[in-house]
């Protein structure tokens, strides 16, 4: 018997799924407060570090934690 393909592309996300996705953690920690950042609060900032030879580093913040 041939296998039935059940895998479908997730093209239509419901609002609920979308909300759940934004509630999920980004897996990154805030550079300022050190806590986990939710996806909807994630803000990636590229910083040029003087201490590492001017290499660019991607630093993550909460939106609320990042102030210019």
Kindly tell me which residue out of 19, 21, 25, 33 binds Zn ion, with binding defined by CB under 5 A: 33
Long-range contacts of 25-30, Cβ-Cβ distance < 8 Å, separation of 24 or more? 26/60, 28/60, 29/60, 30/60, 30/61, 30/62, 30/65
Minimum distance, C-beta of residue 41 to Zn ion, in the bound complex (Å): 8
Cα distance between residue 40 and residue 49, in whole Å? 26
Q: Which is nearer to Zn ion, 32 or 38 (CB)?
A: 32
Cβ-closest residue to Zn ion?
A: 30
Q: Is residue 24 involved in binding Zn ion (CB under 5 A)?
A: no
Q: Is residue 30 involved in binding Zn ion (CB under 5 A)?
A: yes
| Binding positions for Zn ion, rule: CB under 5 A | 30, 32-33, 62, 65
């Amino acid at each position: 018997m041939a296998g039935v393909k059940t895998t479908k592309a997730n093209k239509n996300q419901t609002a609920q799924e979308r909300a759940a996705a934004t509630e999920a953690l980004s897996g990154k920690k805030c550079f300022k407060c050190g806590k986990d950042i939710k996806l909807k609060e994630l803000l990636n900032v590229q910083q040029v570090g003087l201490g590492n030879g001017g290499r660019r580093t991607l630093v993550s913040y909460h939106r609320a934690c990042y102030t210019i």
